Amino acid sequence: MSALQTREVLIPNIGDAEDVEVIELCVRPGDAVSVDGALIVIESDKASMEVPSPCAGTVRELNVALGDLVNTGRLIAVLDVEGDAVEAAPPTPPAASPPAPLQGVVDAPTTAQTPQSTPQPPPSAPATSEASPDAEPPAKARVYAGPATRRLARELGVDLGRVRGSGGAGRIVKDDVKAFVKAAMNAARDGAGGGIPALPVVDFSRFGPTEEVPLPRVGVRGARNLHRSWLNVVHVTQHDEADVTDLDGFRKSLAAEAEARGVKLTLLPFILKACADNLRAFPRLNASLNAAVDGLILKRHWHIGFAVDTDAGLIVPVIRDVDKKGVWALAEEIAELSELARGGALLPAQLQGGTFTVTSLGRVGGTGFTPIVNAPEVAILGVGRLATKPVWDGAAFQPRAMLPLSLSYDHRAINGVEGGNFVVALCRLLGDIRRLALES
């Protein structure tokens, strides 16, 4: 029998995420673990993920605690394993790199029910950190912050002794420093009579019983990202309707094949495929503005995000290379990513790198809405509820399946004619999906 050896387990590559929080400990010292058994669960601004054991063994040491903020390469645990297991065990698997986040609800298949990103996407500071920059810290307060946070504070000239930490055990994270600077800038603007006036703080309990409940972390991040996009992007929304009578009939004719494949075929994969093709013809909608806002970064890849409604908030997984995939492959990937999103198991790489986003209120209803652009993207397509309407064909009214579309775009990058032409061309593609076969 092989002698016991020790094996260190580290946080795998988590992309560009920093200071992710340990939200669950799945084992304790002395516990036996199997290969790929969960050791801990970590949560970034966009999603949560399990960190698995690379081999079977017994937990000798657990080197993290609830609320700890960890980064790639941090020691998680030390395992006692058989010598052979050490030899055979692969290294802790790295996460793939980039795919990016947002908002919206999508008509995705219900292979599972109902979590980051957004979208992302992306993320502002926790509410607990937004203390007044003039507030004095408690006497002899101990500053609890990591090296990266301290470096950022030095670069911005922030006294960490005046920053309130929102991490585990009061740890100060980067978002706390950024929130402190933001609060100081807002205070300076308000003092000069500029900036956006703050809403009044109202004690609602004066009018009747109240209850305050915390928002999910993903929901808070998403709300702040949307607010940031709304303030920074010059939004214009173009509305139209696509006649998808033939497309919907074709989709329904594939019901038996879809069932045999174990996939629920909705209109969404057709819409994603048509969007990818249309973005080739209108490359400015598949771009981002540069930092100086005097040029466009045209992206020669077509990674499309789709918004999923989850218990934790709206999450936007990203499907990469939509232009290279068929409808069946897209339907399977939509189902897989939707299930992972609702189970809180998306990897950071599955939330990054989006170039365009599709969001749907089809199940909720409505004839149109104004989706908020998922910056730094410059456009997002909103899909309404499919409805049968009488349409004049030149001789009589005919019942047609009409799909409302709402394209929001950044007017700094896209003019009204280009946005309108994009929607018209998309309606044409969805009206006769065979046209996709004619495109190069």
Distance between CA atoms of residues 217 and 47, nearest Å: 9
Residue 240's region, left for phi above 0, alpha for psi from -120 to 50, else beta, is beta
The DSSP secondary structure of 362-423, one letter per residue, reads TTT--S---PPP-TTSSEEEEE---EEEEEE-SSSEEEEEEEEEEEEEETTTS-HHHHHHHH
437 backbone dihedrals φ, ψ, rounded to 5°:
-70, -20
Q: Which tokens go with 138?
A: 């408690």
Q: What share of the chain is helix, strand, coil (3-state, %, to 5)?
A: 30, 25, 45
In sequence order, which residues have a C-beta less than 8 Å from that of residue 417 and are 6 or more positions away? none
Q: Which amino acid is at 357?
A: T
Residues catalogued as catalytic: 411
Distance between CA atoms of residues 159 and 142, nearest Å: 12
Q: Which amino acid is at 211?
A: E
10 Å Cβ neighbour count for 204? 9
Angstrom distances, CA of residue 132 to CA of 114, 176, 402: 37, 12, 52
- Rg of the chain over all Cα atoms, to the nearest angstrom: 25
Q: Are 53 and 39 in contact (CB under 8 A)?
A: yes
Beta strands 304-306; 356-360: pairing state: parallel
Q: Are 121 and 101 in contact (CB under 8 A)?
A: yes
Residue 206: exposure state from Cβ atoms within 10 A (0-12, 13-18, ≥19): exposed
Residue 138: exposure state from Cβ atoms within 10 A (0-12, 13-18, ≥19): exposed
72 backbone dihedrals φ, ψ, rounded to 5°:
-50, 130
